[in-house]
């Protein structure tokens, strides 16, 4: 999950660099709302990823994407109820 954390950090830095003005410029209420919304979205995405990792560690089936079901106990993933070597490799290798 290192890649996911790096991605979240990169998005947060990008948002901060674009959204945060210099010291002499104040944020408008609309800009503040956009920034808060983006940060909340990042926090939700991080929690979803952590939940998926916890299920994977406990051996419980989980869904990394719509239509995809992964079974850690047998280390296999299925896409639309058919075995998917792509998803299996992505999740377990």
Pairing of strands 68-71, 76-79: antiparallel
Cα torsion angle, 40, 6, 22, 18, sign: negative
Say how far apart CA 18 and CA 73 lie, in whole Å: 43
The verdict on pTM exceeding 0.85 is: no
Q: What is the pLDDT along the chain (93 residues), one digit of tens a residue?
A: 455 666 666 677 666 666 666 665 677 888 889 989 999 999 998 988 888 888 877 888 989 899 999 999 899 999 999 999 999 999 888
């Amino acid at each position: 999950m290192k890649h996911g954390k790096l991605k979240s950090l990169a998005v947060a830095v990008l948002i901060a660099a674009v959204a945060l003005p210099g010291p002499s410029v104040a944020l408008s209420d609309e800009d503040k709302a956009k920034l808060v919304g983006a940060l909340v979205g990042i926090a939700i995405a991080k929690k979803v990823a952590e939940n998926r990792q916890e299920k994977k560690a406990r051996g419980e089936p989980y869904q990394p994407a719509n239509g995809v079901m992964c079974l850690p106990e047998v280390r296999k993933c299925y896409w639309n109820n058919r075995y998917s070597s792509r998803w299996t490799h992505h999740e377990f290798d």
